[in-house]
Amino acid sequence: MERYEIVKDNESGNIGVAKLVRDRRTKELFVVKFIERRQNNLCFW
């Protein structure tokens, strides 16, 4: 994530957290959703 800087940490939800980020080159703002991966949530068939 070197290209982006975190502007604001938004509230976390049930499965992850959203962050407001800025592209360092274009100065555009984006929201990125980071989703938690937990081993006990995996289901194998």
Domain boundaries, the chain: 4-38
Q: What is the pLDDT of residues 33-43, one digit of tens each?
A: 888 776 665 55
Residue 12's pLDDT is what?
A: 75
Residue 13's pLDDT is what?
A: 75
Q: Which of 9-13, 16-20, 41-45 has the lowest mean pLDDT?
A: 41-45
The backbone region for 25, taken as left when phi is positive above 0, alpha when psi lies in -120 to 50, beta otherwise, is: alpha
Residue 41's pLDDT is what?
A: 56
At CB < 8 A and 24+ separation, what contacts does 36-45 make? none
Residue 37's pLDDT is what?
A: 75
Q: What is the pLDDT of residues 17-30, one digit of tens each?
A: 889 999 999 999 99
